[in-house]
């Protein structure tokens, strides 16, 4: 299997999990490399995602690391099969024309068992209309070229095909009222976006919950968040927006913090029906 100078977040995650498993077992890189019949440098490259693990090697190491969590091992083995497969996800056609972080977000959503997002300044990307997305990208600094905007809009629209997977994706969007009132594009663009948001919220696998102004202060104010559930809790991932691109974290302490954050949002947000009523009200006021 070939090396990768720029591994994807998913490739790096598999390596990180295998390293975590090795350290938990108290094994050295020399010992683990010996189990696979390779040198320690190659194992280090595998643990950093530069070289891929095969499913067989995942199971060999898990057995010798005395890991008995079958579901976790099966998930890592499946991840190794997908990472090593010649078949590529739809997002790969954008590699080289879009920042790698945007492709990592699409891949994260595609393999998640559930996605929850928190948005304060605009409607979640997975629920945006094309014109609204175009207005969002037009507001980026430094300014994007027209081509860069159109490439990002096309990618954002394609991300929505995650709702058409063979296995339905449960999706929960916690949206602050400020995002509904923040104008992106002309008034008609925002109004159509709010109409689509309501329509999407009526899908059985999509839950849109509005956090009203009346709640007052809230944790992580202004901070966009995407929490992707993995096959097991150990494989959950958090993606955060930043001025220099998306950031990903899967440290348990961070995952625990953001689970509490989402629990707070769930308690504070309006129920689904009341959320739709508020969206309709704001759309009428535009």
Query: Domains of the chain by range and CATH?
Result: 9-87 (1.10.260.40), 93-285 (3.30.870)
Percent of the chain clearing pLDDT 90 (strictly above): 90
What is the C-alpha to C-alpha distance for residues 239 and 251, in angstroms, rounded to an integer? 12
pLDDT digits (tens, 9 = 90+) for 26-59: 999 999 999 999 999 999 999 999 999 999 999 9
- pLDDT of 231 > 60? The answer is yes
Residue 218: per-residue pLDDT: 84
Residue the block writes with tokens 């019949």:
37
Residue 5: per-residue pLDDT: 64
Comparing CA positions, the residue from 131, 145, 113, 120 lying closest to residue 240 is: 120
Cα torsion 199, 210, 265, 269: sign: negative
Residue 144 CB contacts under 8 Å (≥ 6 apart), including other chains: 137, 138, 152
DSSP 3-state assignment of 201? helix
Residue 50: per-residue pLDDT: 93
pLDDT digits (tens, 9 = 90+) for 189-207: 999 999 999 999 999 999 9
Q: In the β-sheet with 114-119, what is the strand arrangement from edge to edge?
A: 206-211, 171-176, 114-119, 225-229, 237-240, 247-249
pLDDT digits (tens, 9 = 90+) for 114-163: 999 999 999 999 999 999 999 999 999 999 999 999 999 999 999 999 99
Residue the block writes with tokens 């339905």:
168
Q: What is the mean pLDDT of residues 211-231?
A: 90
What is the C-alpha to C-alpha distance for residues 100 and 94, in angstroms, rounded to an integer? 9
Q: Is residue 108 exposed (0-12), middle (13-18) or buried (19+ Cβ within 10 Å)?
A: buried
What is the C-alpha to C-alpha distance for residues 78 and 82, in angstroms, rounded to an integer? 6
Residue 35: per-residue pLDDT: 96
Q: pLDDT confidence of 14, banded at 50, 70, 90?
A: very high
Comparing CA positions, the residue from 232, 228, 7 lying closest to residue 111 is: 228
- pLDDT of 70 > 80? The answer is yes
Rg (CA), the chain: 21
pLDDT digits (tens, 9 = 90+) for 80-101: 998 777 788 999 999 999 999 9
Residue 103: per-residue pLDDT: 97
């Amino acid at each position: 299997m070939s090396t990768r100078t720029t591994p994807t977040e998913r490739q790096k995650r598999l390596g990180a999990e295998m390293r975590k498993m090795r350290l938990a077992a108290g094994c050295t890189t020399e010992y683990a490399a010996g189990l696979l019949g390779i040198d320690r440098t190659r194992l280090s490259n595998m643990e950093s995602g530069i070289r891929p693990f095969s499913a067989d090697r995942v199971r060999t190491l898990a057995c010798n690391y005395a890991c008995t969590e079958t579901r976790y091992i099966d998930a890592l083995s499946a991840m190794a099969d997908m990472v090593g497969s010649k078949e590529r996800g739809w997002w790969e056609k954008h590699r080289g024309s879009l920042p790698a972080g945007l492709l990592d977000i699409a891949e994260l959503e595609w393999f998640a068992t559930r996605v929850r997002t928190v948005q304060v300044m605009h409607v979640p990307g997975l629920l945006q209309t094309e014109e609204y997305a175009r207005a969002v990208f037009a507001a980026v600094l430094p300014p994007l070229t027209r081509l860069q905007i159109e490439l990002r809009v096309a990618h954002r629209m394609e991300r929505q095909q995650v709702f058409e997977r063979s296995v339905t994706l449960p999706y929960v969007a916690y949206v602050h009222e400020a995002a509904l009132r923040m104008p992106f594009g002309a008034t008609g663009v925002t109004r159509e976006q709010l109409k689509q948001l309501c329509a999407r919220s009526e899908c059985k696998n999509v839950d849109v919950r509005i956090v009203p102004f009346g709640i007052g202060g809230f944790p992580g104010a202004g901070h966009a968040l995407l929490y992707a559930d993995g096959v097991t809790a150990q494989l959950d991932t958090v993606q955060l927006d930043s001025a220099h691109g998306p950031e990903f974290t899967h440290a348990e302490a961070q995952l625990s913090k953001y689970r509490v954050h989402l629990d707070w949002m769930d308690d504070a947000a309006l129920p689904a029906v009341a959320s739709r009523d508020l969206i309709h009200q704001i759309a009428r006021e535009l």
